[in-house]
Amino acid sequence: MPSDLKQLLDQHAALYNQTSFIDTDPIRIPHRFSQLADIEITAFWVAMLAWGQRQTIINKANELIELMDGAPHQFIRDHQEKDRERFSNFKHRTFNYTDTLYFLEFLQQYYRQHQSLEDAFARHITSESPHVGPALSGFHELFFSLPDAPHRTRKHIATPLRKSSCKRLNMFLRWMVRQDDTGVDFGLWKRIAPHQLLIPLDVHVDRVARHFGLLKRKQTDWLAVLELTEQLRQFDPSDPVKYDFALFGMGVLQYDQFKK
């Protein structure tokens, strides 16, 4: 890979991987909390809602937290079925009350038995696994293992088995696994290594990656995620997903330069 491209991406990763990034990004929502379960629940749910304008996502996430009385883990674990009625008007794009009810049901059952969502992903891979693909497909299977799982809700939790890019799940894992001195990502999970993470591939990252010749595959799908991440590993084998900051930042903030 050209050394000047690595230098450019390193510079832009450092430019956007700053605490100032937090205020304008949905990651600001889990940064409101200090306890692991609160961070996980809000990060997971916000990531699953992360399509559309970032400020809209932030607004909807704040609404969701208000409905949980500002205490996500306590509400998830202890709420009664009648408490779910308050979510009847909560929706974001195609995410509606049916989806909300199932998220509440799964998370309540899960957190009544486990301390952390980390096991729901990490149980499916080992330290020798090349990437988190099996963790994503395994989590999808677990999430929809309850007998009343609505078919319509499956579109909100992606899986590599359907060739999805799994952008939102990969973003959630980036938040929970990556750790550096900037403090943007949380780095709270230790059973998944940063080198196993995969790039959250959205339209902005896709556009800039193709501009630089880092992505050749025509479809923006699971194989494109593997292709791009492998390219980025040549720049930093231990932390390839740090370049999400560079590719996303350039794609959003320097759109005119990279638009097709």
- Residues 176/43, Cβ–Cβ less than 8 Å: yes
163-167, 172-176, 216-220, 250-254: least confidently modelled range: 250-254
Compute the C-alpha angle 151/134/172, nearest 5°.
Answer: 75
**Confidence band, pLDDT 50/70/90 cuts, at residue 251:** confident
Write out the DSSP string of the chain: --HHHHHHHHHHHHHHSSGGGGGGSGGGTGGG--SHHHHHHHHHHHHHT--S-HHHHHHHHHHHHHHTTT-HHHHHHH--GGGGGGGTT--BTTB-HHHHHHHHHHHHHHHTT-S-THHHHHTT--TT-SSSHHHHHHHHHHHT-STT--GGGGGGS--GGGT---HHHHHHHHHHH---TT-SS-----SS-GGG------HHHHHHHHHTTS---SS-SHHHHHHHHHHHHTT-TT-GGGHHHHHHHHHHHTHHHH--
Cα 19 → chain centroid: 18
Residue 177's domain comprises 3-258
Residue 211 CB partners (closer than 8 Å, separation 6+) = 258
Q: What are the structure tokens assigned to 105, written together?
A: 């049901």
pTM of the model: 0.95
User: What was the pLDDT predicted at 255?
Assistant: 54
pLDDT tens digits, 196-232 = 999 999 999 999 999 999 999 999 999 999 999 999 9
Count of structural domains, the chain: 1
Closest CA to 94 of 183, 154, 18: 154
Q: Per mean pLDDT, which range of 85-99, 190-204, 246-260 is the poorest?
A: 246-260
